[in-house]
Chains A and B, each alone.
Chain A
Amino acid sequence: MTASGGRRLLAALNPAAIKAGLAPGMPLPDALSFVPGLMTVPADPAADTAALTRLAEWCSRYSPWTAPDFQAGGDSDGVKIEITGSAHLWGGEAALVADLSRRLSRQNIAHRLAVASTLGIAWALARHAADAGAPALPAPEDERAALAPLPVEALRLDLDTVQGLRRVGLRHVGELYPMPRDALARRFGDAVARRLDQAFGDLPEPLSPLGETPSRRVRLSFAEPIADPADLARAIERLVEDLAARLAREGMGARRLALGFHRIDSRVEHIRLGTARPSRDPRHLAKLFAAKLDTVDPGLGVEDMILAVFAADPLPPEQLVSHFRDPPPQAGEDVRRTSGGQVGASSDIAFLLDRLGNRFGLDAISHIEPRQSHIPERASIFVPINGSPHPPAARAPGLPPPLAGEGLQFATGEANSLSRLASIKSSPASGGGSPRRSRGQVGASAKPPRPVRLFRPPEPIEAQWVLPDDPPFRFTWRRRQHRVRHADGPERIAEEWWIEGDAAADPRGSGDHIRDYYRVEDEEGRRFWLYRDGLPGDPPPRWFVHGLFA
């Protein structure tokens, strides 16, 4: 029952109501006069849409090319499934339809089913030829003949066109067959011709599936629905083994997977996974799924589990070395065990990264990488391992990328054996201008010292100094006062004027992007990296603590 313009109308009816003579669109008072004991509930289109979408998702157990089919009429909503590639798994189209019909009946969903070579014919047959319990499965050569006696509404035309056709006396689809297309188009618009072409397969009508199309799928169906987590875990192991065997034959490893749990109440739950490196190790994948198994609600039971791969990369055989450690023994148990050796160390790390990435997101795992920049917060950034660099908050659009082909290395030092970077002899020292070394450091090394902690963004402090050029003798940071006993510096770092739109962490945009850094030690020995932002003068420049030394 819906409300429309102040009147209450019937929206949808069950078969018994139709038999009693009611029809959609009838006003409620009239309906009640027909059938005094009529039960009504308010219509909820949103819930209907959601329910149909869920049903379509459940129907994907037959084929990943499944989508809900919404028509403007509302009454003839349905689900369309492309079963070309999967009918054989059920023993043929008829068997598949019978299985679907049985399961839908079990859920008390009234349905009419049809199978045909094109979506147009199937749609038409389902709504106008098939009946409950009598699905329409014409042989391919009989399809045109099956379509002919159906009313013109079966062509998915809008109301005006249908009325136009009927007015001219064209009531059945078969009457349209011999008519020239251009005449139809002139008289009734393109729609009629288009629908006919689609029905006959002359015009392709691809089915956009609900959700992404997987590249590989393995399915496990259960005679009895299962809900116990232990059973689900065992089923996961079976599925990943099947998938692993298949991927091994193809020499591929999975990068993105989804495991669908099809419940008997036609809801589908999913676990989605990503891996940092392609993997077809059944134990590793099973463990990743098992870690998220408690997010799945099996309801009253799961009848199918479908493991789908959405992205895969080549994985030659020698990279696959499973070095999965058994869990540590309980206290008191013998700790004797043989050492695993060096082989497979890198696959250990890959598995670790997968487990961390699936819990925290691959964005949360990063490497520290150097960048060619004088600005301290840009000279070293966190780069997530899945590629897309996460620059610090104040990233200018023209941030210099790493030198192509060469790579950078932090300051001095030999290349580490695990370093992914080639080394170059020197890296840029500080300062857009020349650092004023008149007050240099004792035992000056080639590189000015850098702190172990760097605050992003730098934290403002209140500083007091004697001369404008001096480091402060006292400053207040986080509501604590520090008295400065010793100081090194200044080290001048200017903005990188060659980068367009460089903000250099100075929101004032005054163009005076000079920082004078001082390494100061307070009376307790803590060593801070402070800087004065802007040249001394009026207005008084601001001071920040940028980092802490060890």
Chain B
Amino acid sequence: MSFSQVMRDDFPEGMPRPGPLAALRERIRHIEQPRSHGVLPFGVAAIDRALPGGGLALGAVHEILGQGGDEEDGAAACGFIAGLLARFRPGPVLWCLKRPDLYGPGLLAHGLDPARLVVLAAPRDEDILWAVEEGLCAPGLVAVVGEIGRLSLVAGRRLQLAAEHSGVTAFLLRRWRNSEEAARERERPSAAVTRWRIAAIPARDIDDPRLRHLIGTPRWWVELLRCRGGVPAKWEVEVADATGHVRLSPELAGRPAAAQRLAAEPRLRFG
């Protein structure tokens, strides 16, 4: 709504003309709550409660980080994104990466059919950024994933605007070359609507003592670091299953120490 429209004289009889202040308020409200393309609920009440709208915002940019050694490989983040994409509406997904280590059968284990992916291999962060932006301008896509290291705040805002305009959801899987770059870059401010950190944590203990040496149900420590319109939170979940759903991990008997240690100092695991 522009001022000129407000100042027109064609309001119905008897209705007080809204003043310029009201128009400005309306405009600010419009900017603060950009057009919504809907949400994708996690199906887990604890997580959906923490997100505005009751789920992951579509037509927006979300950042997913790893932890420790996974900041270079982005394996847990990859599985997390695969689980989410599995539950999007059917449609193609553009996945931009610098290292071609994506593996189809692994994605399928979390519910994502690799046949939906168009994979772009590009050498540098600037190329990934360009490709993600191009993908966000193609409304035929369901989502775009960019495995990107360095990203400036201005570029992130541009991506967010493009996502809002087209309705394509963007996942920025932050992946760095080494721990030095990670230390430099992970603290930078970002323009993403939500910012997550996914870390793999030891699987649930198996009750049968004879099978204790096996891996149980794998789990993630999911942290919502930043959420526009919400508050940060953390959950312990079972990894996305073959339908893409995560589940809250039930209370553990006999292994509280590990979970508490992680909750206290999640950053100091790799020296």
Residues of A that sit less than 8 Å from B by CB: 323, 325, 327-329, 331-332, 334-335, 340, 344-349, 351-353, 355-356, 359-360, 364-370, 376, 379-380, 382, 385, 409-413, 416-421, 439, 441-443, 449-456, 478, 480, 485-488, 519-521, 523-527, 547-550
Contact = CB atoms under 8 A, between A and B. Distances in A.
A527 B115 contact: no
A364 B120 contact: yes
Nearest to A520: B215
B172 interface: no
Contact of B75 (A413, A420, A549): A549
Contacts of A370: 104-105, 114
B256 to A, nearest CB: 15
Contacts of A488: 214-215
Given A441-B215, A527-B218, A368 B102 contact: yes
**Which of B34, B75, B220 has most chain A Cβ within 10 Å?**
B75
A486 B101 contact: no
Contacts of A369: 104, 115
A62 B165 CA distance: 47
Contacts of A329: 165
B218 A550 contact: yes
- 10 A-B pairs with the lowest CB-CB distances in the bound complex, closest first: A550-B79, A345-B140, A348-B140, A452-B106, A450-B105, A548-B75, A454-B103, A525-B201, A380-B104, A328-B165
18 contacts: A323-B140, A325-B137, A334-B1, A360-B131, A368-B115, A370-B104, A416-B113, A418-B115, A442-B211, A442-B214, A452-B103, A453-B101, A526-B200, A548-B70, A548-B73, A550-B82, A550-B110, A550-B239
A350 to B, nearest CB: 9
A453 B73 contact: yes
A521 B74 CA distance: 16
Contacts of A349: 92, 118, 138, 140-141
Given A349-B92, A351-B138, A521 B215 contact: yes
A452 B78 contact: yes
A328 B114 contact: no
Interface in B212-247: 213-221, 239-240, 242
Contacts of A353: 118
B203 to A, nearest CB: 6
B107 interface: yes
A521 to B, nearest CB: 5
Contacts of B30: 335
B22 interface: no
B82 A486 contact: no
Contacts of B107: 368, 452
Nearest to B271: A480
Contacts of B140: 323, 344-349, 352
A355 to B, nearest CB: 6
Contacts of B75: 451-453, 526, 548-550
A411 B105 contact: yes
Contact of B202 (A411, A450, A485, A549): A485
Nearest to B101: A453
Contact of B165 (A335, A454, A486): A335
Nearest to B201: A525
Contacts of A411: 105, 108
Interface in B133-162: 134-135, 137-141, 161-162
A439 B215 CA distance: 11
Given A413-B113, A486-B216, A379 B105 contact: yes
Interface residues of chain B: helix, strand, loop or mixed (majority): mixed
Contact of A356 (B76, B120, B216, B240): B120
A325 B141 CA distance: 13
Contacts of B166: 325, 328
A367 B119 CA distance: 6
Interface string B89-124: 011101000001111111111100111111111100
A453 B115 contact: no
A229 B85 CA distance: 42
A359 B124 CA distance: 13
A337 B33 CA distance: 16
A519 to B, nearest CB: 6
Most buried by B among A352, A451, A549: A352
A360 B119 contact: no
Nearest to A416: B113
Given A348-B139, A519-B215, A548-B73, 15 more contacts: A325-B139, A325-B166, A328-B165, A347-B140, A382-B100, A416-B113, A442-B211, A456-B101, A478-B69, A524-B200, A524-B269, A525-B200, A526-B68, A550-B110, A550-B218
A323 B139 CA distance: 9
Contacts of A550: 75-76, 78-80, 82, 106, 110, 200, 218, 220, 239-240
A359 B220 CA distance: 37
Task: Choose among A327, A442, A452 the residue with the greatest number of B CB atoms under 10 Å from its CB.
Answer: A452
Given A367-B117, A487-B213, A550-B218, A417 B90 contact: yes
A368 B161 CA distance: 30
B114 A410 contact: yes
B147 to A, nearest CB: 11
B139 A365 contact: no
Nearest to B166: A325
A275 to B, nearest CB: 15
A365 B134 CA distance: 14
A525 to B, nearest CB: 4
Nearest to B141: A349
B37 to A, nearest CB: 10
